[in-house]
Structure 1
């Protein structure tokens, strides 16, 4: 379930971004044609501009009907829910403490409860992935750990619990010190690196796009002033430059570089604090709650909540 939802999430994310890019590109090219038609008094360019504006409307309708962004977010939430539960099951975290009489049954119950909310908004479990390769942040059991047998680590050994793999059971049977080491190394440190890298990447992209839109806006102002002063009066470039700046702003908002940079940096700070706590001062009896608190930091819903304050 994790692998299929992860692949579908990546596929729908790419579809959503491609569709938005196509819509913005059509709108910008239509504006260019309209500007040229006005300057050269060309009926052909006017017709082409009208056609492109019409295609932009059609593209927007298709985007709304496909709901790629909603499906992407639902599949990502499902994938991360399964991964988080798998880690808690493996290391005796959250509700899966050592005293639970039926951890396998509890796993199925917890999974069903968390997926029920996603089903209400239209999520459906995919029968198989679309063939997209999962990214480096989505491996529930990192291959670098020699504990895992590559031939069987993702295979269930009980048909009644198809989401519980041999590797998960192998970790759950380990002593506390071993489980703690595996969790800190293969979950917490791995996610620290991922969130840190994404925060830097988002911050750089935000800086590039913000600078570009600011430059285009400044050029639009210069063009408007020049036209009002009688300089280059034959061209109305201010509208075209303003449309280009608006396109840059729309793309920046679509990719959410600013809020995600803020959110990922905060999640990384929280994980660093949790890593220090888990490493030094958590006894075995408090371990389940500490793991649950750590997993909460990595849920997509938590990142989205933080992103609302970083926009």
Structure 2
């Protein structure tokens, strides 16, 4: 079955969405793995450096070689660009698909299916022309899917209910869940970093008094630096605030859409999709993506 009476699943969206979504997820996975290895190697280098023994010094050389290799790979492959560019293209394709399927502007119900499909395909072509090569992975060629046409052909009430439930409410739940998850992670990481700082202070005092001869404080300093760098990469606090704001804004949009009649529906959908796109634009900006 290609779709549901309720709305659109990810499999019901154009192939461009699945292609760019796959490229984004792969880029994110590679980037985070590369970053993890870089930070782990930094801690390992600090540990080998304080041991000051021949095997440890040999290991230190190998660690720096590995670190250089990871850095070169990150610089040449730039997996974060595939992550950001792919996500931008995926969200753009998704918003166009929902606009088309529920007769939102610029694909209002006054247009025939053929004319609306032609306009939709032209919009997808524009996205493809502007999309960086890193934003796509090979996938099928279908533009307008059967599920999109089925939903578009349904009554206004059915389209409205499907959009409210399977687009707005689903997106709101996603933002709310992600907000709670990021806030919780931020709190845990803050506590962990404070604990490492406390251990580093204790180790430094013990080293100063001569009780501890091993430079544990130096190792803990490297661990603290790696932890802080990972915390900055994941941006738990920033995302927690942004997702909370987005969930709140979508609740307001839901109320407005619930009151919309068929005469203003197309524009209300367009405004709702603009709000969703704006949240993604803010996410990209927080990641330093253009």
TM normalised by structure 1 equals 0.80
1:251 maps onto 2:230 in alignment? yes
Q: List, as ranges, runs of 4+ consecutive aligned residues in structure 1 with deviation greater than 6 Å.
A: none
- Helix, strand or coil: the match of 2:260? coil
1:169 maps onto 2:169 in alignment? no
Instruction: Tell me if the contact between 1:6 and 1:79 (Cα under 8 Å) persists in the aligned partners.
Output: yes
Q: How does 1:195-206 map to 2 (within 5 A)?
A: 195-206=175-186
Matched residues in 1 for 2:201 and 2:136: separation?
51
Instruction: Tell me if the contact between 1:263 and 1:306 (Cα under 8 Å) persists in the aligned partners.
Output: no
2:30 aligned residue: 15
2:255 aligned residue: 276
Matched residues in 1 for 2:91 and 2:77: separation?
23
Instruction: Tell me if the contact between 1:213 and 1:246 (Cα under 8 Å) persists in the aligned partners.
Output: no
1:297 aligned residue: 275
- Helix, strand or coil: the match of 2:109? coil
1:55 aligned residue: 66
1:107 maps onto 2:125 in alignment? no
- Helix, strand or coil: the match of 2:28? helix
Matched residues in 2 for 1:63 and 1:190: separation?
35
Structure with the greater relative contact order (CA < 8 A, sep ≥ 6): 1 or 2?
2
Q: How does 1:22-101 map to 2 (within 5 A)?
A: 22-37=37-52, 42-100=53-111
1:116 aligned residue: 129
* Ranges in structure 1 where 5+ consecutive residues have no aligned partner: 130-158
Shift of 1:292: 1.6
Matched residues in 2 for 1:304 and 1:246: separation?
25
Matched residues in 2 for 1:221 and 1:189: separation?
48
Change (3 A) 1:260 1:15: same
Matched residues in 1 for 2:191 and 2:183: separation?
12
Instruction: Tell me if the contact between 1:264 and 1:303 (Cα under 8 Å) persists in the aligned partners.
Output: no
Matched residues in 2 for 1:303 and 1:124: separation?
18
Q: Which moved more, 1:299-308 or 1:287-296?
A: 299-308
Shift of 1:205: 1.3
Matched residues in 1 for 2:169 and 2:129: separation?
31
- Helix, strand or coil: the match of 2:131? helix
Matched residues in 1 for 2:274 and 2:64: separation?
45
Instruction: Tell me if the contact between 1:214 and 1:245 (Cα under 8 Å) persists in the aligned partners.
Output: no
Matched residues in 2 for 1:290 and 1:184: separation?
12
Normalized per residue, which structure has more helix?
2
Shift of 1:55: 1.3
Change (3 A) 1:175 1:115: same
Shift of 1:90: 0.7
Shift of 1:59: 0.7
Superposition CA RMSD, Å: 2.0
Matched positions, count: 269
Matched residues in 2 for 1:296 and 1:231: separation?
63
Matched residues in 2 for 1:8 and 1:204: separation?
28
Deviations 1:226-258 (A, max 9, x none): 333x23251222211111011111111122211
2:240 aligned residue: 261
Shift of 1:88: 0.3
TM normalised by structure 2 equals 0.86
Shift of 1:307: 4.5
